[in-house]
A and B are shown apart, each in its own frame.
Chain A
Amino acid sequence: MAVAPRFVEILGVLFRHRVEFILVGGVAAILEGAPVSTLDLDIVVQPAPEDRERLLAALEELHARYLDPAGRHLVPDAGKLETLRIHRLVTDFGPVDVLHSIGDGWTYEDLIGQTSSYDLEGMTVRVLNLAAIIRSKEAANRDKDRATLPILRRTLQLKEPVS
């Protein structure tokens, strides 16, 4: 039986372990005001060794394991976090994608200047700006990205301040 993602609980574990991350993807778009839907939580992480250690501790608490079509029980470890660029995980609180980059290879360092900080239940969460989310989806250019682009663009138009 599928389990609904628990967004706040996942963010809470990442926050407690002081994981440096940027929230991207559908949840980021929703926090930026776009009425879209998502069933997972996507983050871009810092690749430094100390950040990987904190991330690994958080993933262990979440009981994260790789989404494996063959049904194998594969869990993240320091080696995988260092070498793999995309980690499609399932956790006790739902699916989490841990990414080293999005779009055209944009890393945490590339994206950090395009974020806003949101206060959620006492947690400060860095969220990718809607304009950057749109650029990342244009670059990814998958069917599901193209499907949501019109509503993301319209949301950006409606929220743009008058300059």
Chain B
Amino acid sequence: MPLPRDTYKTDDPASLEEPGLVLRHHSPGVAEGEDDGLILWMLSLTPRKRLEFAQGFADSVVALRNGRRA
């Protein structure tokens, strides 16, 4: 599901963590088969926050797997 526009607004200080990053004008949502909104939101995060995203996903998947086995 697309994230709200203000989650990746360009005046967010987190956006400045990626040198040279340009957030182009794309409508949030699916374009050319990919979810641009999700990608732009991810690009707006600091590397540390991106790693937390990865960790959260991994935790959820493993919890689901373990739940199924229980």
Contacts and interface: CB of A to CB of B under 8 A. Distances in A.
7 contacts: A5-B55, A30-B53, A33-B50, A37-B61, A38-B54, A121-B48, A161-B20
A162 B65 CA distance: 43
Given A4-B59, A38-B58, A159-B22, 15 more contacts: A2-B62, A2-B66, A5-B55, A6-B55, A30-B54, A35-B42, A37-B57, A37-B61, A94-B58, A118-B47, A121-B48, A154-B32, A155-B39, A159-B43, A161-B22
B58 A5 contact: yes
A48 interface: no
A150 B33 contact: yes
A70 interface: no
A37 B64 CA distance: 15
Nearest to B43: A33
A58 interface: no
Contacts of A2: 62, 65-66
Given A7-B54, A154-B39, A120 B47 contact: yes
Nearest to B61: A39
Contact-residue bracket for chain A: 20 to 34
Q: Interface size for chain B: under 10, 10 to 19, 20 to 34, or 35 or more residues?
A: 35 or more
B48 A33 contact: no
A37 B59 CA distance: 11
A61 B61 CA distance: 26
Interface of B: 18, 20-24, 26, 32-36, 38-43, 45, 47-48, 50-51, 53-55, 57-59, 61-63, 65-66, 69
Of B41, B50, B55, chain A has the most CB atoms within 10 Å of the CB of: B50
B48 A35 contact: no
A111 interface: no
B42 A4 contact: no
